[in-house]
Structure 1
Amino acid sequence: MECRVTQLSPLQRLWLTETVRLREEHAGPLDDLEANRHARSAGGDLAARLQTRALWLAERDGLLGALQHWLQGARLALLVLVVLAILSGAGLAFAALGDGQGPVNVFWALGSLLGLNLVLLVSWGLSLLFAGEQGASLGRVWLWLSEKLARDAKAAQLAPALLLLLQRRKLNRWALGTLVNGLWLLAMLSALVMMLLLMATRRYGFIWETTILGADVFVTVTRALGALPGLLGFNVPTAEMIRVSNDTSYNSELLRQAWAIWLVGVLLVYGVIPRLLLCAFCAWRWITGRNALQLDLSLPGYSPLRERLMPSSERLGVNDIAPEQLPDVQAGHTDLHANGALIVAIELDDQHPWPPKLPDAIMDAGILDSRESRQKLLEQMTRFPPARLVIACDPRRSPDRGSLALIGELSRSAADTRVWLLQAPPGQALDADRLGDWHTALKQLGLPFATSLPLNWLETGHD
């Protein structure tokens, strides 16, 4: 687990912490005793301990895996949108210039290339000013598509948590703004490249047409639109060129090149450059805000955890009401540096003498028969995990959920664990069905077990 968690970015750690908070807000407190113990052992301020606790719970409950699935879906959704943007840009260029069989109306072509882009650009700007987080329909499509492509039911909890996390610093607008403007930038670049390819391989003539407007209007509009491209070195057709464009007999090579250069310059200045500048600005605001993002410790979900994660004094007794449904019991091992050997027993009666005769190198943790003794040992093992652990159990007792949960929790704090199923006291016999239940439960946990003390393994690590 530690390896997977260390690979998370700061944003992803905050994201999972917020997801766990929302889960507890809607479904009630989680079974978090072990998670709280790990958080206290890891140390740090309250925000750091909240993240440690949440990441442990996220790993246990499958949210960490769901996050990876959601990110994979998000990348795939982004790839789909990128491909659509490139194809759309190429389609705009085809629609604007046609197949070259007839003359191109320069203003219809300009409207095809820039009309929708400029309308949506103005709409995005107005929504940014007046509607706050609204108006980013393309961003919502990306979030929806990311969730669908993730194919993980638990991933459905991630998108709302991310939106709430980003809304506190109003980062939604900049994240979605980067996406929207980046996709339109790709579309405009695709249109520009395709237009250059078409102009390089086909012969286009350019005209303008009108019924009620005079030639002076087109001269004025053409010169005005070409003013900014002219500053970048793009030639603008002269007034005489514009006036004679409708006369095909004067539609010379020089005139066609002048209109082609003007069209390329206008697309670059009014289509590509604005989207490039806006994408860079949104990305800068997004990165700056993301780096400053922190947990809001004033939220109701975090306040009850302060005393449990940063206790002013250790208190005994039940802290939380038990959840209606406990998570599945799981065994495991620690990835931390472990050393030494430890043996411990769970709820033995007086008929089993304890401890057995042990070499000096093996530590005896005694018999766990109370909540206090369990918590004390778990706290110690969290700080100093043993390399080898043997857990002694009395198979005359039923393998209840509490005992199995404790075995799993102990195993997760050791590098390697084995279970010792004790023999029945003299004059008594083990119940075969109950012993079979122990075998089945320990196999499900994935822990090796034996009916004799693995003393050589405990001392040397070898059988």
Structure 2
Amino acid sequence: MLTPPRQLTELVRLLQERGYIFAADPQPLTEALRHTEGNAEAKLCRRAEMIDSDRKLHDSLGRVQSLFAWLLLAATLFWLVSGFAGTATLMQQSGLNFFFVLAGVLGVHTLMLLLWLGSVLLPRFKPHGLFANPALWIRGKDPVNQAILRLYSDEWGKPATRWLIGRTSHRLWLSALTGMLAAVVLLLAVRQYTFNWESTILSDAVFVQAVQALGWLPAQLGFPVPDAEAVLNSRLNNDLAASRQWGGLLIGSIVCYGLLPRFAAWLACHILSRRSMSTLPLEKPYYQQIIQQWQQRVVDADNQSETVAAAPQISLSNAPKWAVMLDAEWVDKTWFQHVLGQEWLDKGTAAGRDAVAALKADLQANPAQLLIGVRARSMPDRGILRQLTALAEAAQGGAVVQLLAEKNVSDGLEDYLNQWHAALAERRLPWLDPPRVSQRERLGQEAVKQE
């Protein structure tokens, strides 16, 4: 599967291809990352993180991953309890047929392990089972959840997913075997059991050889195992003297032929799933268009970045980045985060002449580039424009005006924006439109071009 940063990047791609409106406008962020260090994949992941400035996409992916983790934990506990309860039921009687108990504990496990080994050797493998259908555990009809469903469906269809499914399956079996082992050890510790064996068509020699072969590996690990005499004495008899050896062989068999092979299979799947981590599909046209945009040479390149419909041109300097909200506090406390791909220092709100004068003096003493937040639905009157001009002149690293608008308010906003554009252009102050407004405008232009 994809790593979390790559998942977020792919989710942004799927949503942007579907015309989704993000919290931050992708276009100026793409331009801002043109001259940053790093390879294409690292810059794409950084771009996705900045586009998700309100962390809505990150939180949605986190909820899905958390849901899967809780489902896996619940399944693990269920298999643990089931293994314990099943083994305890199997050992209700004080006189036990050793091979019957051994087959009940390890029979299905061994068969399923062999089937898994067979599936690994198949040239083609398609994921199957409950977790192989993301639609069963990803709910919601909103665009984000639908894109996450598409993301997981695409990943689940890749051949490398077999290792993730195998790792999950082995984890559940390890849980069940742990429950079985705990039940066997507990019951052998608090109850007195005797073991016997019986057969109609097999001779004593066959069972002696079978026990010797079965007990070789547990004996190497220090588990007590019955000798030939104990095996012969236990046929149709509950030999109390050999009970400890038979119990040791049962515990050793669960460890050697159950837990150890299953853990080895889990470890192999874990390593292979790590090695087969998916990378970003950079060959897709979406990524190629962005990479080509970054690779284009810019005349007189000087860390400049311009946004759609922005005039005059926005220039990013090397000065420290400050952000201030003009006139009154904005409802979104993080309005300045990742604007133009920069980390802005929050300087609070400049409300009134005294606050503007104090900020102006601070800017004159400390060279900085200033991001000024302004309500788009307020009239650009002389007082506001005078304060904007004063702060822009004091900002030695330059100034950018960020026009802000509420998410669900659009009536009459275009008229306000046109007035702001005219007033700011007259004073040669660069601006950024509200992210959602600029994205809607760009999507509308693209729709007109396609028609």
Q: Same fold (TM over 0.5)?
A: yes
Do residues 79 (structure 1) and 73 (structure 2) align?
yes
Out of 78-87 and 340-349, give the one that drifted further. Answer: 340-349
Q: Which has the higher contact order (CA 8 A, sep 6+)?
A: 2
The one-letter amino acid of 2:111's match is V
Between the aligned partners of 2:375 and 2:248, the Cα distance in structure 1 is 85
* Residue aligning to 1:20: 12
Determine helix, strand or coil for the equivalent of 2:392: strand
- Are 1:104 and 1:205, in contact at CA under 8 Å, matched by a contact in 2? yes
- Are 1:77 and 1:146, in contact at CA under 8 Å, matched by a contact in 2? no
Do residues 303 (structure 1) and 288 (structure 2) align?
yes
* Residue aligning to 2:391: 362
- Are 2:170 and 2:263, in contact at CA under 8 Å, matched by a contact in 1? yes
Do residues 120 (structure 1) and 134 (structure 2) align?
no
Of the three residues 21, 36, 41, the one matched with 2:32 is 41
Structure 1: segments with no counterpart, 5+ residues: 1-8, 319-329, 366-379, 414-463
The one-letter amino acid of 2:148's match is L
Out of 220-229 and 104-113, give the one that drifted further. Answer: 220-229
In structure 2, the CA distance between the partners of 1:342 and 1:364, relative to structure 1 (3 Å rule), is: farther
- Are 2:40 and 2:291, in contact at CA under 8 Å, matched by a contact in 1? yes
Of the three residues 189, 197, 206, the one matched with 1:217 is 206
Determine helix, strand or coil for the equivalent of 1:130: coil
Between the aligned partners of 2:2 and 2:224, the Cα distance in structure 1 is 50
Between the aligned partners of 1:126 and 1:402, the Cα distance in structure 2 is 68
* Residue aligning to 1:333: 335
Q: TM-score, normalised by structure 2?
A: 0.66
Q: TM-score, normalised by structure 1?
A: 0.64
- Cα offset for 1:75? 1.8
* Residue aligning to 1:181: 170
Q: 1:344-355 residue pairs with structure 2 within 5 A?
A: none
Do residues 294 (structure 1) and 279 (structure 2) align?
yes
- Cα offset for 1:253? 3.0
Q: 1:48-447 residue pairs with structure 2 within 5 A?
A: 48-58=42-52, 62-97=56-91, 99-101=92-94, 103-130=95-122, 132-134=124-126, 137=129, 139-140=131-132, 146-147=137-138, 154-162=144-152, 164-165=154-155, 170-248=159-237, 251-290=238-277, 293-313=278-298, 333-335=335-337, 336-338=343-345, 340=370, 342=372, 356-358=385-387, 361-363=390-392, 398-400=412-414, 403=417, 410=433
- Are 1:206 and 1:256, in contact at CA under 8 Å, matched by a contact in 2? yes
Structure 2: segments with no counterpart, 5+ residues: 300-305, 310-330, 338-342, 346-367, 406-410, 422-430, 437-451
The one-letter amino acid of 2:336's match is T
- Are 1:192 and 1:264, in contact at CA under 8 Å, matched by a contact in 2? yes
Percentage of pairs with the same residue: 23
Determine helix, strand or coil for the equivalent of 2:222: coil
- Are 2:23 and 2:53, in contact at CA under 8 Å, matched by a contact in 1? no
Between the aligned partners of 1:181 and 1:385, the Cα distance in structure 2 is 58
- Are 2:15 and 2:143, in contact at CA under 8 Å, matched by a contact in 1? no
In structure 2, the CA distance between the partners of 1:51 and 1:166, relative to structure 1 (3 Å rule), is: farther
In structure 2, the CA distance between the partners of 1:225 and 1:109, relative to structure 1 (3 Å rule), is: same
Determine helix, strand or coil for the equivalent of 2:3: helix
Determine helix, strand or coil for the equivalent of 1:206: strand
- Cα offset for 1:114? 0.6
- Are 1:178 and 1:279, in contact at CA under 8 Å, matched by a contact in 2? yes
In structure 2, the CA distance between the partners of 1:29 and 1:197, relative to structure 1 (3 Å rule), is: closer
- Cα offset for 1:272? 0.5
* Residue aligning to 1:423: none
Determine helix, strand or coil for the equivalent of 2:116: helix
Q: Deviations over 1:213-266 (max 9, x none)?
A: 222222222221112112212232122211221343xx3432111111111111
The one-letter amino acid of 1:100's match is Q
In structure 2, the CA distance between the partners of 1:362 and 1:281, relative to structure 1 (3 Å rule), is: same
- Are 2:224 and 2:249, in contact at CA under 8 Å, matched by a contact in 1? yes
- Are 2:28 and 2:307, in contact at CA under 8 Å, matched by a contact in 1? no
Q: When the two structures are aligned, how many residues end up with a matched partner?
A: 361
Give RMSD over aligned pairs.
4.4
- Are 2:402 and 2:432, in contact at CA under 8 Å, matched by a contact in 1? no
